[in-house]
């Protein structure tokens, strides 16, 4: 077995490159998701180690020391961080010339040849789902015989092996919680709308929806929702409770946990037996009856991708959602006491100054507990990227998606709506949503009831204003 290091490299301060959400960038409030996509193959490789440098505030020195005794390094990369990650890979090779270096992630999954051509120190990239790909390489299988990789031979030629079959038996994957316990400090991971400390795991992969902007289903996970059994999920949560009794909340980070309603209810009942608080990603169409079952069995919060309040834009991005359905769903959540973190995107195809205002008014009307406003990000491999390139909405100069400090830029523009207008609408959205009397009053009441919440919200406020300062500097 090769001595293997799984690495999330150092990057911009506050840059969440391993985010399981729809984009990688600095966030409005500093937050970090677990590196689950690396932890899963790490759980398959005995004796391996996982280093998640950004949340651990780790620089290169200890990593360079570590790789002197390694045979294989597997790095997670993304479109925004790729150039920086290649520089890190070269530093690793300089420290240990015998080191084999591979990269995984959506960026290299959809652009394997380009990634190899631009990544001189990279020996291979793993395409699509890569868990067992990495396991075979770590076991010493010759690269020529490993499905699902694009690699560089001794002559420097780049070779694409045949695709790897998708994993059908999700229960065959070991628990990532074992790797969290072994290699991570759970207090390093913080998401503003989740209780701290939290733990996130995937209970399945893939998403049935066809949203044109969404990265993971179009690149790695696919559009079939392949799931773990409720018993398997419950067993991992039970183990995590044993390992981390201080955990306040579990987040099921599947693209759309509510894609399979009977299974969602079955897992909820297992969580109810365990007495845990949990949250998940959901589409804004879950019926009241299911919401009630989830709430009665420990559900606290739903992360919901509303994207826009304009029906035509929702059609344009193939969201498969009616605005009125989303409103009814949200009313039901409020009635049941389920918190919502609503996510919105400005700059999607069909966006105008008027539709931005329409979405802001929609957000104010449905009034999620908290919200997140993103700039439309046309990641390579998505339909949105293809559409933007063909229509001239995306300039190559803006194709990196972030600036040199890690702040997300507005890469899309339209004849009737400029980069600048889209970029500035994010701040306007936040200001009009949060700086209204009723919302300020609810936040103040929440802070008064809990000194811990007051401390948290004040810190988030400082981080948010720093984020706005960084955006203005950009």
* φ, ψ at 147 (rounded to 5°): -70, 145
**In Å, how far from its chain's centre is CA 214?**
10
- Structural domains of the chain sorted by starting position, each given as residue range(s) with its CATH number in brackets: 2-158 (3.40.50), 190-434 (3.20.20.70)
User: Which are the contacts of 289, defined by CB distance < 8 A and separation ≥ 6?
Assistant: none
Q: Do 302 and 340 touch, CB atoms closer than 8 A?
A: yes
Closest by alpha carbon to 402, among 304, 343, 470?
A: 470
Tokens of 405: 């400090």
Per-residue model confidence (pLDDT) at position 334: 98
The tokens 């019926």 sit on which residue? 287
195 vs 450: CA distance, rounded Å: 13
Residues of the chain short of pLDDT 70, as ranges, are: 12-30, 396-408, 441, 443-474
Q: Report the pLDDT value the prediction gives residue 380, as an integer from 0 to 100.
A: 84
pLDDT in tens, 194-218: 999 999 999 999 999 999 998 878 8
Concatenated DSSP letters of 310-348: -HHHHHHTT----HHHHHHHHHHHHHHT-EEEEEEEES-
Cβ neighbours of residue 32 under 8 Å, at least 6 residues apart? 16, 18, 54, 55, 188, 189, 190, 191
* Ordered alpha helix ranges (H), 167-206: 177-183
Local structure of 353: helix, strand or coil: helix
**Residue-level pLDDT at 281:** 96
pLDDT of residue 18: 53
| DSSP codes of every residue in 376-417 | ----TTSHHHHHHHHHT-B-GGGTT-B-TTS-B---B-BTTB
369 contacts 340 by C-beta, under 8 angstroms: yes
pLDDT attached to residue 22: 37
CA distance 418 to 353: 10
The tokens describing 224, both together, are: 């079939």
CA distances from 161 to 120, 136, 197 (A): 19, 14, 42
Please tell me the pTM assigned to this model.
0.89
Q: pLDDT tens digit string along 438-454? A: 777 676 666 656 666 55
């Amino acid at each position: 077995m090769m001595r293997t290091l799984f690495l999330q490299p150092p990057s911009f301060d506050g840059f969440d490159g391993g985010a399981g959400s729809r984009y990688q960038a600095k966030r409005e409030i500093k937050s970090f998701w677990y590196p689950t996509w690396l932890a899963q193959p790490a759980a398959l490789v005995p004796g391996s180690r996982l280093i998640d440098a950004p949340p651990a505030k780790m620089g290169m020195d200890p990593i360079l020391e570590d790789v002197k005794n390694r045979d294989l390094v597997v790095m997670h990369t993304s479109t925004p961080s790729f150039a920086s990650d290649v520089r890190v890979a070269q530093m690793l090779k300089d420290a240990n010339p015998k080191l084999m270096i591979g990269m995984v992630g959506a960026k290299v999954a959809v652009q394997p040849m380009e990634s190899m051509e631009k990544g001189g120190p990279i020996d291979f990239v793993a395409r699509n789902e890569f868990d067992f790909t990495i396991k075979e390489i770590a076991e010493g299988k010759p690269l020529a015989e490993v499905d699902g990789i694009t690699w560089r031979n001794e002559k420097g030629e780049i070779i694409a092996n045949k695709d790897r079959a998708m994993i059908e038996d999700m229960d065959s994957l070991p628990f990532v919680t074992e790797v969290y316990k072994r290699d991570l400090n759970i207090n390093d991971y913080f998401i503003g709308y989740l209780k701290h400390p939290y733990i996130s795991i995937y209970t399945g992969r893939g998403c049935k929806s066809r949203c044109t902007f969404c990265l993971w289903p179009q690149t790695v996970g696919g559009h079939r929702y392949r799931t773990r059994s409720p018993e398997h999920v419950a067993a991992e949560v039970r183990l995590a409770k044993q390992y981390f009794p201080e955990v306040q909340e579990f987040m099921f980070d599947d693209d759309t946990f509510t894609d399979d309603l009977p299974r969602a209810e079955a897992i909820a009942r297992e969580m109810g037996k365990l007495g845990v608080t949990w949250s998940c990603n959901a589409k804004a169409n879950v019926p009241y009856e299911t919401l009630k079952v989830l709430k009665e069995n420990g559900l606290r919060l739903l992360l919901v991708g509303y994207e826009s309040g304009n029906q035509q834009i929702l059609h344009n991005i193939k969201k498969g959602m009616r605005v009125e359905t989303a409103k009814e769903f949200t009313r039901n959540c409020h009635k049941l006491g389920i918190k919502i973190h609503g996510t919105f995107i400005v700059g999607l195809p069909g966006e105008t100054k008027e539709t931005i205002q329409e979405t802001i008014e929609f957000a104010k009307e449905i009034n999620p507990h908290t919200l997140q406003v993103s700039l439309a990000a046309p990641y390579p491999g998505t339909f949105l990227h293809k559409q933007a390139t063909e229509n001239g909405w995306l300039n190559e100069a803006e194709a990196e998606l972030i600036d040199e400090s890690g702040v997300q830029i507005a890469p899309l523009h339209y004849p009737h709506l400029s980069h600048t207008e889209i970029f500035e609408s994010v701040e306007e959205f936040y200001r009009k949503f949060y700086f209204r009397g009723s919302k300020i009053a609810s936040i103040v009441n929440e802070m008064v009831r809990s000194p811990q919440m007051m401390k948290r919200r004040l810190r988030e406020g400082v981080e948010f204003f720093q984020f706005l300062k960084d955006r203005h500097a950009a």
